[in-house]
Amino acid sequence: MFAIEIKNLTKEFNGLRAVDNISFTVNKGEIFGLLGPNGAGKTTIIKMLTTLLRPSQGEARVWGFDILKQKDQVRNSIGIVFQEPALDNRLTGRENLDFHARIYGLNRENRQKRIEKVLKLVELEDKADILVKDYSGGMQRRLEIARGLMHYPKVLFLDEPTLGLDAQTRHRIWDYILKLNKEEKITIILTTHYMEEADYLCQRVAIIDSGKIIIQDRPDNLKNILGGDLLSIEAVPERKALKIFEKFLWVKKIKQHNGFIDLNVERGEKKIPLLMKIDQKEEGIEIKSVNLRKPTLEDVFLHFTGKTIREREVSQSEKNKMMMRRRFKRQ
């Protein structure tokens, strides 16, 4: 059995296909990532899987239970941490956890034991009796993760778990996520638009854009698609330089992007000296800079969509504005 099984899931909002016929499975015990720009449809997928939103088409099972016909069983099998904080600021951390556990019907003894366990997991034991309104953003997020774990869920949904947190806090949250995956043997599905987060945490990643899955695989396999290292070269005049680089047999792929010429090569560090051997005067070009990078998931996204995630977010929000304007005119 899969932890999650999704077939042809679609969600439309007033003619907008926020989620467009997606299918994938998540294995038990896996950390699976949905990676994509703002507006890609990630939260909508999570809301359908957690029974908060009804799909327009398609079906899905979570821990073997049908999201339409077995809502209660699905809800009992899952924990959710949403993008927007949902804690009660007037209560302490411990009270928030206790309240949640009561909703799930845990008895008193079990509640107390579980609260200690989850507090320890996110290292909030010392802060348990402080009001949540006095927590930092990072502490609140940790408490929310702890709360999501209270009722022993089989599958934990994390929607943008580190959104808006500083780098140090983000790394700490990553460590908790890895720890609870290992110690509690919990299956985790998370969404993010941070490439390095998906890369660091997830055994497998689905890259999603405009409601569609572009590609899914293990992060290292995805990066290997690009074929080795990336040499980003700034050279003028660009077209002349491009012609020269194209002739090298060791260049596997070549692409122009934002004033740079990107070469896909193997063992990039060995190729830089070869570039330096080019007689720039004779060829009539000037190489201004060479930058060697190991490919990231950002490069994979760029490769498949022709845009960086950031560029995609900007064009997406413009598209949304246009749709709103059109709708407004019609009314």
Report helix, strand or coil for 196: helix
92 is in the binding site of which of Mg ion, ligand ADP, none (Cβ under 5 to 8 A by kind)?
A: none
162 is in the binding site of which of Mg ion, ligand ADP, none (Cβ under 5 to 8 A by kind)?
A: none
Residues within the interface to ligand ADP (CB under 6 A): 13, 16, 18, 36, 38-44, 320
- Please identify, using beta-carbon distances, which residue of 83 and 203 lies nearer to Mg ion: 83
Q: Residue 34 CB, nearest distance to ligand ADP (Å)? A: 8
| H-assigned helices in 131-194 | 137-149, 167-183
13 is in the binding site of which of ligand ADP, Mg ion, none (Cβ under 5 to 8 A by kind)?
A: ligand ADP
295 is in the binding site of which of ligand ADP, Mg ion, none (Cβ under 5 to 8 A by kind)?
A: none
Q: How far apart (Å, rounded) are the C-alpha atoms in residues 161 and 171?
A: 11
Q: Residue 240 CB, nearest distance to ligand ADP (Å)? A: 41
**Cis peptide preceding 161, ω within 30 of 0:** no
Give the contacts of 310 (CB within 8 A, at least 6 positions apart).
Answer: 37
Q: Residue 220 CB, nearest distance to Mg ion (Å)? A: 26
- Please identify, using beta-carbon distances, which residue of 274 and 322 lies nearer to ligand ADP: 322
Give the contacts of 110 (CB within 8 A, at least 6 positions apart).
Answer: 101
Site for Mg ion in 34-53 (CB under 5 A): 42-43
- Please identify, using beta-carbon distances, which residue of 43 and 77 lies nearer to Mg ion: 43
Q: Residue 149 CB, nearest distance to ligand ADP (Å)? A: 23
Q: Residue 300 CB, nearest distance to ligand ADP (Å)? A: 17
Distances in whole angstroms, Cα of residue 263 to Cα of each of 85, 248, 268, 272, 291 = 43, 10, 9, 11, 10
Radius of gyration, CA atoms only, the chain: 24
Total residues in contact with Mg ion, by rule CB under 5 A = 2
- Please identify, using beta-carbon distances, which residue of 36 and 93 lies nearer to Mg ion: 36
DSSP state of 92: B
Q: Residue 16 CB, nearest distance to ligand ADP (Å)? A: 6
- Please identify, using beta-carbon distances, which residue of 43 and 181 lies nearer to Mg ion: 43
Q: Work out whether 187 is an interface residue with Mg ion (CB under 5 A).
A: no
Distances in whole angstroms, Cα of residue 162 to Cα of each of 14, 27, 158, 176 = 30, 23, 9, 12
Q: How far apart (Å, rounded) are the C-alpha atoms in residues 34 and 157?
A: 11
- Which residues make beta-bridge pairs with 236? 286
Question: Which residues of the shown chain bind Mg ion in the complex (CB under 5 A)?
Answer: 42-43
